[in-house]
Amino acid sequence: VLVDSLPALGGQAVNSIIGTFCGLFSNGSDGYQFTHGIADDLLGDLGAQENALFYRRGPHTTVVYYDEVALGRWVEKAMLAAGVTVIVGAVMRNVRVAGGVDEAVRLDLDVTVAGGEIDPGHAPTGDAALVWQAGFACREPDDGPIYGTQMLIVENIDESKVPSREELPARMREKAGDYGLLRREGLSFVIPGRGVAAMNMT
């Protein structure tokens, strides 16, 4: 059984609107694929679908753009084929810790889902929320600001007029002060053929 807090499987690859695979190819304009395993299945299956996969070979690396909906369906089919029962929309309410510092730590989770509570077993994974709920030490800054990232989608763009990788950050540095932005950095990923750009601004 796979329990997930999000409404759809796939984690950030499906839910964060970035739509890019990085690190599958070696550096350089003639990069070759060196990450395999599940990557072979993903590239093969999505590449066989119309407009589900695009490659951008730049001077530094090859970036693979994908359709998030197509990837989400791929993940769902993979879970079904593996015989995994999926429960989405779960809420972690509490974590109980058993075991000392010299023993393996076992985490028991109280998870609430629609219709009641379940026992998800003793092999959880997760992010800092799990560590925090378990009462373990979390690394936090002593002082100074904490910056976040804003992701947004710009639709119906004219791909022939997209600014270069140098022009966009220069424009952000020029205009950020007008909008009260303390950090003036960012980048964009244009999804070829879709008239869409994903913007990542810190």
Q: What pLDDT is recorded for position 1?
A: 81
pLDDT tens-digit readout, 17-53:
678 888 899 998 888 999 999 999 999 999 999 989 9
Give residue 181's pLDDT. Answer: 79
d(CA 35, CA 118): 37
Q: What is the pTM of this model?
A: 0.66
For 40, 109, 127, the CA distances from 130, given in Å and listed in that order, are 31, 9, 6
Q: What is the DSSP letter of 149?
A: -
Q: Which residues pair with 50 in a beta bridge?
A: none
Burial 127-141 (b: 16+ CB within 10 A, else e): eeeeeebbeeeeeee
The pLDDT value recorded for residue 122 is 44
> Which pLDDT value is given to residue 123?
46
Phi, psi angle pair for 42, to nearest 5°: -60, -50
Residue 12: helix, strand or coil by DSSP?
helix
For residue 94, count CB atoms less than 10 angstroms from its CB and return exposed for 0-12, middle for 13-18, buried for 19 or more: exposed
Q: What is the pLDDT of residues 142-158, one digit of tens each?
A: 777 777 777 788 899 99
What pLDDT, on the 0 to 100 scale, is given for residue 72?
Answer: 93
